[in-house]
Amino acid sequence: MPELPDITVYIEALEKRTVGQRLGQVRVTHPFLVRSVDPPLSETHGKRVTGYRRIGKRIVMALEDDLFLVLHLMIAGRLHWKTSTGAKPPGRRGLAAYDFETGTLILMEAGSKRRASLYPVRGEAALAEHDPGGVEVLDLDLQTFRTVLLRENHSAKRALTDPRIFSGIGNAYSDEILHRAGLSPVKWTERLSEDEIARLHDATVSVLREWIVRLRQETGDDSPEKVTAFRPEMAVHGKYREPCLVCRSPVQRIVYASNESNYCSTCQTDGKLLADRALSKLLKGNWPKSLEEMEERRA
């Protein structure tokens, strides 16, 4: 799922190409995409784009007459800019096309599950209803970050990814943040020391800012085309059993539902392996307690 750095670069690319232009129309090829009927989508047609903003992981296109289009890409939604006007969304993956004077913005979604959503919205009050409430972490000093973090007791991973707590952080960048901070993804926030909270704050800000810069440099003057949660430069996310970039120990994972946490047992959990829910049920009391024991069993 595109997260804060990816959405930031998407918005910057869209601002360059469409602010000040009129939105000719939005051609929707899958009606499930539009999730609201008041105002009707047709009311946004012909309106001039006045700007963009990010709400969590949502891209908000602001239009004349206090109208907005709120787009949530979810896991597999992606945007592609075509310089030809009236470009057609491709095949089964194409969900919609936004027509502008200088080109077409194509919304696509991989896979068979249609999760991306588009909401036409009228007015700031209605737009605020789409905000889960998480704070913008890049704007927080350490003391405010500590206050927000400790309002509720969650695992460190859950706290970072809960959209009601922090805005725009998901599965991928939370893995990278926790690895940078040297913290276990399952450590409860109320058990974090002051030093650990400071490390987590520093890691959160530095990882997100570094990836914004990296993605900007990668994109250049082009539109982002390779938005993915799995990048070779990442330290642990998507790197299960690959060597940690810091200590070279094999990266471990915890699988739960459709998500997983990637972590380094050497850098983050003092060599202890965290029990994977699915494997724990299978192995029960035979779950290995250390990386060495795990590797011995695999051998």
Query: Domains plus CATH for the chain?
Result: 4-128 (3.20.190.10), 137-298 (1.10.8.50)
Dmax over Cα atoms in the chain, in whole Å?
Answer: 66
Both tokens assigned to 210: 């570094």
DSSP secondary structure, 208-268, as one string: HHHHHHHHHHHHTTSPP----S--TT-SSTT-BTSBPTTT-PBBEEEEETTEEEEE-HHHH
152's tokens: 């509720």
Quick: pLDDT tens for 137-158.
999 999 999 999 999 999 999 9
Give me the pLDDT at residue 161, please.
96
Per DSSP, the three-state class of 102 is coil
For range 90-102, the mean pLDDT: 92
216: Cβ contacts below 8 Å, ≥ 6 apart: 9, 12
Q: What is the pLDDT of residues 236-281, one digit of tens each?
A: 999 999 999 999 999 999 987 667 899 999 999 999 999 865 544 4
Residue with tokens 């997983």: 260
Which tens digit of pLDDT belongs to each residue from 104-129? 999 999 877 788 999 999 999 999 99
C-beta neighbour count of 118 within 10 angstroms: 23
Q: Sign of the C-alpha dihedral, residues 146, 149, 155, 160?
A: negative
Distance (Å, rounded) from C-alpha 288 to C-alpha 297? 8
pLDDT tens per residue across span 60-93:
999 999 999 999 999 999 999 999 989 998 888 8
